[in-house]
Structure 1
């Protein structure tokens, strides 16, 4: 009779450098996207007219620095150099925000509303990218990386909710 009971140790996937192949390929692009987002936030703060939205973007900027540090920890955890990959998708989404700034009047609710929509698209892109990284980390059984990504994803979800609510009352007052 064959013993079908396996120890927990034998069930766990052993980690080696090959296990992180997909993470190594995806991480620089996600890191680059986060850096691009962090770079554009101060510009967006200057473009919005709603004080509540400005404060929300200030929070995002501070939280973004924490996300960058968490991502750098993941680079170190999988033993690769920190590398910022080019992310054309994020460039397009940022360009859309700049287009909104160019075609809307300064300090108008229409500009703020348009920028909120543009930023929500960026947030959705980032959430999807982080969720993909999380799936890869789970596949590798890399618990430390999983934990770091879960913190980022939780914070991104909170940011998305804050963004949806930012400036709502001030914009509604302006409309009515």
Structure 2
């Protein structure tokens, strides 16, 4: 904490630097490495979801997000560069688990059904919510550390993740859930 100029009560600083908080900086860098692994893993996992989906809207949404995800990888590489770090991935157990869960849904549902598509949406939204939480938390830390350019990059990706989640909700709610409910 830093003291106020004109008083005796401590005032919380709204911004710090990497040098002032090496532990927070290491936590932040570790989080970037985790997301780097997660996004690269998704680049490999999303094509499986595309090939398992039936709904043309769902397929288009996942294809679009695959393109965005490749961009997210590139942005994370840009962040590593801004941090003066080499792009290094740290295995993300959460993302590995979420994608395995998605694979399980595909295996457990009948091909060509709306039920499978709804399951793919459910699994995809779990992934999106993990990413939203991660990008939001790292955005907050970057802001605290005074990494304005990095925070801007994270905020852009965060917006795309939120939009992807919203699109999935729309696809499910507009028709797909109702079709699945009518399946035998």
| TM-score in same-fold range (> 0.5) | yes
Q: CA deviation at 1:167?
A: 5.5
Q: Using the alignment, how far apart are the partners of 1:173 and 1:90 within structure 2?
A: 29
**Contact kept in structure 1, 2:53 and 2:112, CA below 8 Å:** yes
Q: Secondary structure at the match of 1:166?
A: helix
The 5 A counterparts of 1:102-117 are 102-117=107-122
1:93 pairs with 88, 98, 109, which one? 98
The 5 A counterparts of 1:51-130 are 51-130=56-135
Q: In the alignment, which residue of structure 2 is the partner of 1:48?
A: 53
Tell me the TM-score normalized by structure 2: 0.83
Question: Which structure ranks higher in relative contact order (CA pairs < 8 Å, sequence separation ≥ 6)?
Answer: 1
Does residue 164 of structure 2 align to residue 159 of structure 1?
yes
Q: Using the alignment, how far apart are the partners of 1:150 and 1:76 within structure 2?
A: 17
Aligned length: 169
Unaligned runs of 5+ residues in structure 2 are 7-13
Q: Using the alignment, how far apart are the partners of 1:69 and 1:167 within structure 2?
A: 30
Q: Using the alignment, how far apart are the partners of 2:180 and 2:122 within structure 1?
A: 18
Q: In the alignment, which residue of structure 2 is the partner of 1:23?
A: 28
2:147 pairs with 132, 137, 142, which one? 142
Would the alpha carbon gap of residues 109 and 142 (structure 1) be closer, same or farther in structure 2, given more than 3 Å must change?
A: same
Q: In the alignment, which residue of structure 1 is the partner of 2:5?
A: 4
Root-mean-square deviation (CA, aligned residues, Å) is: 2.2
Unaligned runs of 5+ residues in structure 1 are 6-10
Q: Using the alignment, how far apart are the partners of 1:113 and 1:57 within structure 2?
A: 13
**Contact kept in structure 2, 1:45 and 1:54, CA below 8 Å:** yes
**Contact kept in structure 2, 1:50 and 1:170, CA below 8 Å:** no
Q: In the alignment, which residue of structure 2 is the partner of 1:8?
A: none
